[in-house]
Amino acid sequence: MERIYLDGVSSKPIDPRVLAFAKQFLEQGYGNPSSLHSVGLEAKRVLENARTKVTKLINAESDRTIIFTSCSTEANNLAIKGTALRNIGKGKEAVASAIEHISVLNPMKELQKNGFSLRVIPVDSMGIVDCKKLDEALTKQTTVTSIMYANNEIGTIEPIREISAIVHDKGLYLHVDATAAAGHIPIDVQADGIDLLTLSSNDLYGPQGAGALYVKPGIKLQPVLLGGGQERGLRAGTENIFAIAGMGEAARIAKDEMAHETERLKEMRDKLIEEILTIEESYLTGHPTQRLPHHASFRFNHIEGESILLNMDMYNMQVSTGSACSSKTLEPSHVLLAIGLKHEEAHGSMVLTLGRSNKMEEIPTIVKAVKETVERLRRLSPLSQKGVI
């Protein structure tokens, strides 16, 4: 059976156009952008061209606002630790939503070891941040607030402009992890009122090994990685020209094609949701409409998410789950628990993320595989009333 890849939330395949553009810098682009000879200057030109393309994707003020990193996890660490430690004289409080990615929550927990307090803002049953609770949690001692643009696991898009207004009304800084959202929905850091924004190359169909942090002019950060002073002194280390060039080209393609691709994926997503919800005791997770255009997430009673993943893989369909196997712990997803699911409900999750390679003609095949998977696992499950104990 031909592969149907549905796990772009974990890793996207590099776009062939991006690879064709970037591979020249893998084969010939051996220059160091910090070198002053002609080979180094050519590498510097490639680096700055990529920076311009990323700038345009998010409508940043200038190319100087973009700091390249090795991945979005590093960018999140730089944003959170860098802002908190650079502004430690103002206070030692950090704020985040309960559904942030672990690469946001863990750096904040690390700050707690240095005397910071962490306030976690609840979300409703669809994953929308409680703006009233956010307003109440912010104080003059809050050095960094982090709210993601859209959640990678349930697809819910947050009201970033409303959140920004609350944060800025108190004169504070807002960091937004846009890893899951960028390239799928329009992002305008100026209109949205964002101070720091995280991006990932691979989530834009670019190469793995590159990420970026937007830093609004005037925001001061303390470097997390020290060395030669690259990237305006905020991220030391020789830049990965191949990955960064690819990220820039991926950002350009995403900007040019976003409007058409969004509508195409929305139609497929809605059909997928409609058909899968005909399965008995199946439920959509996340907001029904205020969600990413390519994202469909579900939970099923009486079965385990990791079993769903492995069974779907036998159909040569790769999906994701928010249960134990993906989090590498024995606990269910913190995101699903945050939206009010019980432990046994959170374990039966499945996430399908559509991409450029998917077609509407695949939907019946996907739905058939999901239905057969759920039926089979329920027959085997001791948790199911229909199961054999």
Over residues 335-359, the pLDDT tens digits come to 999 999 999 899 899 999 999 999 9
Amino acid at 380: L
- pLDDT at residue 28, rounded to an integer: 81
Using CA atoms, how far residue 215 sits from 10, 147, 195, 218, in Å, is: 25, 15, 6, 8
- Kindly report, residue by residue over 159-208, the tens digit of the pLDDT: 999 999 999 999 999 999 999 999 999 999 999 999 999 999 999 999 99
> What are the pLDDT digits (tens) for 51-94?
999 999 999 999 999 999 999 999 999 999 999 999 999 999 99
Could you tell me whether strands 282-284 and 295-300 are parallel, antiparallel, or unpaired per DSSP bridges? antiparallel
Instruction: Read off the pLDDT of each residue in 106-115 and give the average, rounded to a whole number.
Output: 95
Q: What percent of the chain has pLDDT over 90?
A: 86
- What is d(CA 234, CA 227) in angstroms, rounded to the nearest whole number? 10
DSSP, residue by residue, 45-65 = HHHHHHHHHHHHHHT-S-GGG
The two three-digit tokens of residue 216, written as one number: 């609004």
pLDDT at residue 238 tops 90: no
User: What per-residue confidence (pLDDT) applies to 31?
Assistant: 87
> What are the pLDDT digits (tens) for 285-339?
999 999 999 999 999 999 989 999 999 999 999 999 974 444 566 578 999 999 9
Least confident piece of the model among 94-103, 119-128, 203-212, 225-234: 225-234
Poorest-confidence range of 6-15, 27-36, 76-85?
27-36
Q: What is the pTM of this model?
A: 0.94
Domains of the chain plus CATH, in order, are 4-11+258-380 (3.90.1150.10), 16-253 (3.40.640.10)
Taking each helix axis from N to C terminus, what angle separates 241-276 and 38-58, rounded to the nearest 10 degrees? 30
**Mean of all residue pLDDT scores within the chain:** 94
- DSSP code string of 176-210: EE-TTTBTTB---HHHHT-SEEEEESGGGT--SS-
User: 252-291, pLDDT tens digit by residue?
Assistant: 999 999 999 999 999 999 999 999 999 999 999 999 999 9
d(CA 261, CA 356): 8
pLDDT band at 387 (very low <50, low <70, confident <90, very high): very low
As annotated, the active-site residues are 325
Q: At residue 99, does pLDDT exceed 60?
A: yes
pLDDT of residue 328: 61
